[in-house]
């Protein structure tokens, strides 16, 4: 089993997504001792944003790229190879202003690439995900209760975006564990953290 953990919170101290992810990984490795675990921290070390040269290089065949084009895509290539390596993805993605952190968006912009993680048939206008055979588990803390189906659920562009973009590249087995109400009283906060923790510990044996 190959587990890729990706953290996107800009916080280290007090980060719920980081602490719950750490608990999950420890429990997972205890039960699945053969697991190979890699961690990518885009919250503290975000990848570079695509540039004009990056975009041009992306749509040129590898053998036709200049050395400058190859260099500008090198970080993206490393991130994609890391993604393709994994069987399981553990994503710590707190909700920032109803969506994903900009650090994680930069990561996605680097890995969602034509003929690398998805293909396009110009004759049929069909897209095909190339990153198949994987499962994703997403931990999403939020300030209030934006769980889909609640009164504020229509503002949740974090879960819906993640499911859409992961599905687009071929990862359709996606589980989201929300951790809402993190700007409420400590009692409410801890209750929601405990609920999420219980779900995650159950998934250690079921995922």
pLDDT in tens, 193-202: 999 999 999 9
CA 111 to each of CA 14, 42, 49: distance values in angstroms, whole numbers, following the listed order: 28, 13, 11
pLDDT at 129 over 80: yes
Strands of the chain (E only): list them.
Answer: 2-7, 36-41, 88-92, 118-121, 126-129, 135-141, 173-179
pLDDT at 140 over 80: yes
**What CA–CA distance (Å, rounded) separates 93 from 132?**
21
Cα four-point dihedral sign 105, 19, 85, 121? negative
Q: What is 20-72 written as a DSSP string?
A: HHHHHHHHHHHH-TT-EEEEEETTTSPPPPP-HHHHHHHTS-GGG--HHHHHH
pLDDT at 151 over 80: no
pLDDT at 152 over 90: no
pLDDT in tens, 6-43: 999 999 899 999 999 999 999 999 999 999 999 999 99
CB 106 within 8 A of CB 144: no
Which CATH class name applies to 2-206?
alpha beta
CB neighbourhood size of 64 (10 A): 8
Confidence of residue 149 (pLDDT cuts 50, 70, 90): confident
**Whole-structure pTM over 0.75, yes or no?**
yes
Confidence (pLDDT) at 146: 75
DSSP class of 150: B
Confidence of residue 182 (pLDDT cuts 50, 70, 90): confident
């Amino acid at each position: 089993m190959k587990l890729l953990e990706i953290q996107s919170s800009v916080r280290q101290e007090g980060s719920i997504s980081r602490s719950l992810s750490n608990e999950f990984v420890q429990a997972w490795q205890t039960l699945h001792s053969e697991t190979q675990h890699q961690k990518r921290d885009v919250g503290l070390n975000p990848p570079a944003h695509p540039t004009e040269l990056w975009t041009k290089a992306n749509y040129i065949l590898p053998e036709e790229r200049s050395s400058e084009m190859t260099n500008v895509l090198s970080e993206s290539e490393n991130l994609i190879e890391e993604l393709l390596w994994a069987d399981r993805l553990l994503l710590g993605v707190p909700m920032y202003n109803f969506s994903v952190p900009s650090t994680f968006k930069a990561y996605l912009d680097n890995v969602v690439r034509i003929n690398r993680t998805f293909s396009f048939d110009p004759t049929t206008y069909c897209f095909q995900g190339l990153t198949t055979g994987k499962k994703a588990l997403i931990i999403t803390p939020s300030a209030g209760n934006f769980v889909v189906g609640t009164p504020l659920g229509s503002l949740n562009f974090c879960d819906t975006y993640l499911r859409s973009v992961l599905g687009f590249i071929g990862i359709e087995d996606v589980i989201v564990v929300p951790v809402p109400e993190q700007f409420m009283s400590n009692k409410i906060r801890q209750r929601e953290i405990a609920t999420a923790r219980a779900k995650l510990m159950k998934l250690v044996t079921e995922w």
